[in-house]
Structure 1
Amino acid sequence: MKKIIVAVALISLSGFAQKKQKSVPFSTQNKTVTVYTSADSSDLRLTKTADLQFKELRQPLETQLCVFVNPDKTFQTFVGIGGAITDASAEVFAKLTPEKQQEFLNAYFSKDKGIGYTLVRTNMNSCDFSSGSYTYIQEGDKELKTFNIQPDKQFKIPLIKKAMAMIGNKASFYISPWSPPAFMKDNKNMLYGGKLLPEYRQAWANYYVKYINALEKEGLPVWGLTIQNEPMAKQIWESCIFTAEEERDFLKNYLGPTLQKAGLRNKKITVWDHNRDLLVQRANTILDDPAANKYVWGIGFHWYESWSGGEQMYENVGKVYEQYPTKNLMFTEGCVEKFDAKKYQLWKNGQRYGKSMINDFNNGTVAWTDWNILLDQNGGPNHVKNFCFAPLHADTTTGELIYTPSYYFIGHFSKFIEKGAKRVSSSASRSQLLTTSFINGDGKVVTVVMNQSNLTVNYFLCVGTTATEVSILPNAIQTLVY
């Protein structure tokens, strides 16, 4: 009896000690700041450029340009960064020599030799970046008896398998449809928008289950899905219109229950998957309905709202983050449009990525997905001639890989921020600099700084009452690890 009492007392004391334990504040003592830089008009590309030490700086002056980081103020949890393995990417990859294929895989999916992607998106049915339109069933097969993912098996699945094998258990692989089969739509065409007919809502919900199960039978665990790529865009390629109410009702009455009944309740469902412009309205409509809300993991968004001539609407991301702090914001697609081979090395293309990623993360985004991970020397293949840029291109006539500035800008985030990291407070004292910061599970802080000016800028990285002075070249991007 005495032994039992002693054991209970020890357990109680242990529990009390755990409750009393507080997290240790971040300290810069004995920390080295390692700086990596990519800069225009130089050979600096994710290049280590300095090892710096913190010194005391209790009160910066107004004349001193500063980046203030507070690692003790934490926000959203980081999921990952990656890109889309489309039919186009996979077809181009298949044309490379084995040596170039390995270089490509290392460039994206290795933390040591490349930039450490962990997110992979792919298209369910064809999209514009396919060599032609296709589905996984025979036209008219409402029962899905002919369902077969053979179109994916030649190019796409082999590349996804290679990528997933390199990423390992940190991988987050998700699917997105561009259009249901033509017979399920009111315009009887996979292209040019159109809507899902009411009588095919259940069949279309069953289609997601079939695709997820088929991929997992191939050894590809599916982490999540978006309901519809760009549901408010009538495109000349595969597209399908869902109003906010239609997407809400399809989710709560068909897709959500169907996934649950199929034993797929753990799949992360992301709504919207379109531009930041209508993001708040879509989130309000779906998430304010409890019956739909319970199925939603996150809200996805793209960056193409500037097609109208306006600016990027980063603040809309922050508004959704404020309204629905328990939901996840994920950037699901972005690329530099209108391919032009003369602009492979245009630095502004990379800056577009850096600016967007910093603003999106600072507004609560947990994951960031680029569009095609690889395209050819024509910005394709693309069956409707909607040619675009990718971070890496392959010249299929020479077999060479072309690394663009966008690749390096993305790498300043993806190579250093680990899955499970927490965003921490990070701000600049002048508009020349943009910044965001994360603290990894090992306690190391990753601070990204972008110089938006055409001049070299000297700034102080300030943490508490300590700082180190850093120099950043014109239009450059830096990652500081400490």
Structure 2
Amino acid sequence: MKRTATTVAFLAVSFLALAQQKSKIQSKPFSTKDKTVIVYTTADSTKLRLTQTDKLTFTASKQPLEYEVSIFVEPKKTFQTFMGIGGAITDASAEVFAKLTKEKQQELLNAYYNKEKGIGYSLLRSTIHSSDFSSGSYTYIKDGDATLNSFSIDHDRQYRIPMIKEAMKTAGEKLTIYVTPWSPPAFMKSNKSMLKGGTLLPEYYQAWANYYVKFVKAYEKEGMPIWGLTIQNEPMATQTWESCVYTAEAERDFLKNFLGPTMKKEGLGDKKIVVWDHNRDLMNQRANVIFSDPEASKYAWGMGFHWYENWTGGAPMFDNVNKVHEAYPTKNLLFTEGCVERFDAKKYQFWANGERYGIAMINDFNNGTVGWTDWNILLDQNGGPNHVGNFCFAPIHADTNSGELIYTPSYYYIGHFSKFIRRDAKRVSTAVSRSSLLSTSFLNTNGKMVTVVMNKSDKKVTYNLIIASEKIVVVIPAHGIQTLVY
């Protein structure tokens, strides 16, 4: 008996020592010693598109001078854990995809979901029945069926489900899929239409909560794991397309009294529920109302947001993201939608469209965002299909007449993040000494640091990347973006 106890004690001590050793390995501080920096560049008025342009080694750094442009990275200071980057497979994307040849379909899938051949998307958003980016309005039930006995996702089997499954296959790793409704069925709403706003009638709160459950279970039965959902796309917008208005109190009470408890009761309590899913302008008020209510807050994983608050002519409200993060640090922030509006085929290569992505992504990540999701991954040569004429840009368009794919600057700007920053990376403190540059950094779990640098100015910039007492000197072209991997 004594011998057995001694053996157990010995094993316990050995296990503890091994655990401590493993912990030391995992917490080994980042060092630039013997590191090579690979620089990838995309720039306006050049042929550089995610092109390797430099291979550098660190040298000793002294106190930088005021006239030098410097970026300072402090690996000891880490922040949020990175969730991923991706885009939405909408009905429109899937319908256009179906018109491509098999070769072009695979090219598109590789361009987005293959880490080596493409930009390594790991997030995927999709819709619960129709949105404006569908060929028409539809639901999964017969009109007036509050029991949901007629529920069927057969509509999605023609285009959307096959494309999502191909994306999953091409990614070769788990895609994080989340879903969003644009409107409840017309009979459940105050205006008796899926379009032009209206509100969810109280007598249908439970039926609508059941609808989410039906959808999640139906998609998962088809082999598409659903990570989570947002409650309502743009809940303060009365749009000409599918839309539904929720005040902050209405969304809080629907989550607290219906959707949250129903998901839990139906065995879906592990699915993440995201609130708001609208612009940065009103996100703080929505956070205050929902996250300050303990019963509602317990069901909310975090908050989603879009970038369209500049519709009034103002600047993006990046600081509001940080204010939500400061006030509710246990809640996650997820960028759920952005695209360049007002499609114009003459502007396929309009560089400012790509820069809009770079500016937003750097600011949103630096303000605490864990993941970033673009809107349609593919649209046609008309910026659609869209059943109400709300035509927009996508990072890649397909000309369905010629069968060719058109890559826009937005695709490459997104790729400077998504190709290199991997799931579970930690954001690292990064600061710039001149406003002409923007920068953010993430430390991947494999020990590789990724620093993204963007030059908004009309002139090339020579800058120092400084970590502790070491630096490299890099030149970034005018209107360029770089990713440094080291």
1:325, distance to aligned residue in structure 2 (A): 1.2
1:257 partnered with 2:257: no
2:453 is aligned, of 449, 452, 469, to 449
1:324 partnered with 2:328: yes
Q: Percent identity?
A: 66
Structure 2: which amino acid aligns with 1:144? L
In structure 1, how many angstroms separate the alpha carbons of the residues matched to 2:162 and 2:423? Answer: 25
**1:134 counterpart residue number:** 138
1:42 partnered with 2:27: no
1:477 is aligned, of 471, 476, 481, to 481
Partner SS state of residue 278, structure 2:
strand
State how 1:99-248 maps to structure 2 within 5 Å: 99-248=103-252
Partner SS state of residue 365, structure 1:
coil
Partner SS state of residue 286, structure 1:
helix
Q: Please say if residues 446 and 480 of structure 1, whose CA atoms lie closer than 8 Å, have aligned partners that are also in contact.
A: yes
Q: Please say if residues 35 and 479 of structure 1, whose CA atoms lie closer than 8 Å, have aligned partners that are also in contact.
A: yes
Structure 2: which amino acid aligns with 1:237? W
In structure 1, how many angstroms separate the alpha carbons of the residues matched to 2:162 and 2:239? Answer: 29
In structure 2, how many angstroms separate the alpha carbons of the residues matched to 1:50 and 1:157? Answer: 41
Q: Please say if residues 125 and 180 of structure 1, whose CA atoms lie closer than 8 Å, have aligned partners that are also in contact.
A: no
1:97 partnered with 2:92: no
1:52, distance to aligned residue in structure 2 (A): 0.3
1:167, distance to aligned residue in structure 2 (A): 2.1
Structure 2: which amino acid aligns with 1:277? D
**1:364 counterpart residue number:** 368
TM-score (norm 2): 0.97
Structure 2: which amino acid aligns with 1:41? S
In structure 1, how many angstroms separate the alpha carbons of the residues matched to 2:362 and 2:243? Answer: 30
1:431 partnered with 2:435: yes
Partner SS state of residue 274, structure 1:
strand
2:280 is aligned, of 272, 276, 279, to 276
**1:5 counterpart residue number:** 6
1:17, distance to aligned residue in structure 2 (A): 7.5
Q: Deviations over 1:169-207 (max 9, x none)?
A: 431001000000000000000000000000000000000
In structure 2, how many angstroms separate the alpha carbons of the residues matched to 1:153 and 1:389? Answer: 25
Partner SS state of residue 268, structure 2:
coil
In structure 2, how many angstroms separate the alpha carbons of the residues matched to 1:419 and 1:17? Answer: 26
Partner SS state of residue 475, structure 2:
strand
Q: Deviations over 1:116-152 (max 9, x none)?
A: 0011111111110000000000110000011011111
In structure 2, how many angstroms separate the alpha carbons of the residues matched to 1:169 and 1:209? Answer: 25
1:6, distance to aligned residue in structure 2 (A): 5.1
Structure 2: which amino acid aligns with 1:4? A
**1:287 counterpart residue number:** 291
In structure 2, how many angstroms separate the alpha carbons of the residues matched to 1:127 and 1:136? Answer: 13
Partner SS state of residue 201, structure 1:
helix
In structure 1, how many angstroms separate the alpha carbons of the residues matched to 2:88 and 2:357? Answer: 15
Structure 2: which amino acid aligns with 1:99? E
1:466, distance to aligned residue in structure 2 (A): 0.1
Partner SS state of residue 375, structure 1:
strand
Structure 2: which amino acid aligns with 1:62? E
Partner SS state of residue 457, structure 2:
coil
1:320, distance to aligned residue in structure 2 (A): 0.8
Q: Please say if residues 90 and 155 of structure 1, whose CA atoms lie closer than 8 Å, have aligned partners that are also in contact.
A: yes
1:62 partnered with 2:66: yes
**1:399 counterpart residue number:** 403
1:243, distance to aligned residue in structure 2 (A): 0.4
Q: Deviations over 1:324-381 (max 9, x none)?
A: 1111100000000000000000000000000000000000000100000000000000
Query: What are the ranges of 5 or more consecutive residues in structure 1 without an aligned counterpart?
Result: none
State how 1:322-401 maps to structure 2 within 5 Å: 322-401=326-405
In structure 1, how many angstroms separate the alpha carbons of the residues matched to 2:7 and 2:184? Answer: 66
TM-score (norm 1): 0.98
Partner SS state of residue 281, structure 2:
helix
Q: How many residues were matched structurally?
A: 482
Q: Deviations over 1:404-450 (max 9, x none)?
A: 00000000000000001000011111111100000000000000000
1:476, distance to aligned residue in structure 2 (A): 0.1
Structure 2: which amino acid aligns with 1:76? Q
In structure 2, how many angstroms separate the alpha carbons of the residues matched to 1:229 and 1:72? Answer: 38
1:24, distance to aligned residue in structure 2 (A): 2.0
In structure 1, how many angstroms separate the alpha carbons of the residues matched to 2:431 and 2:165? Answer: 40
In structure 1, how many angstroms separate the alpha carbons of the residues matched to 2:276 and 2:198? Answer: 17
1:10, distance to aligned residue in structure 2 (A): 5.3
Partner SS state of residue 110, structure 2:
helix
Partner SS state of residue 67, structure 1:
strand
**1:304 counterpart residue number:** 308
In structure 2, how many angstroms separate the alpha carbons of the residues matched to 1:103 and 1:17? Answer: 46
Q: Deviations over 1:68-89 (max 9, x none)?
A: 1112211000010000000000
Q: Please say if residues 170 and 419 of structure 1, whose CA atoms lie closer than 8 Å, have aligned partners that are also in contact.
A: no
Structure 2: which amino acid aligns with 1:292? A
1:79 partnered with 2:80: no
Q: Please say if residues 457 and 472 of structure 1, whose CA atoms lie closer than 8 Å, have aligned partners that are also in contact.
A: yes
In structure 1, how many angstroms separate the alpha carbons of the residues matched to 2:3 and 2:145? Answer: 73
Query: What are the ranges of 5 or more consecutive residues in structure 2 without an aligned counterpart?
Result: none
1:4, distance to aligned residue in structure 2 (A): 1.6
**2:33 counterpart residue number:** 29
Cα RMSD, aligned residues only: 1.2
Q: Which moved further from structure 2: 167-176 or 271-280?
A: 167-176
In structure 1, how many angstroms separate the alpha carbons of the residues matched to 2:20 and 2:40? Answer: 40
Partner SS state of residue 434, structure 2:
coil
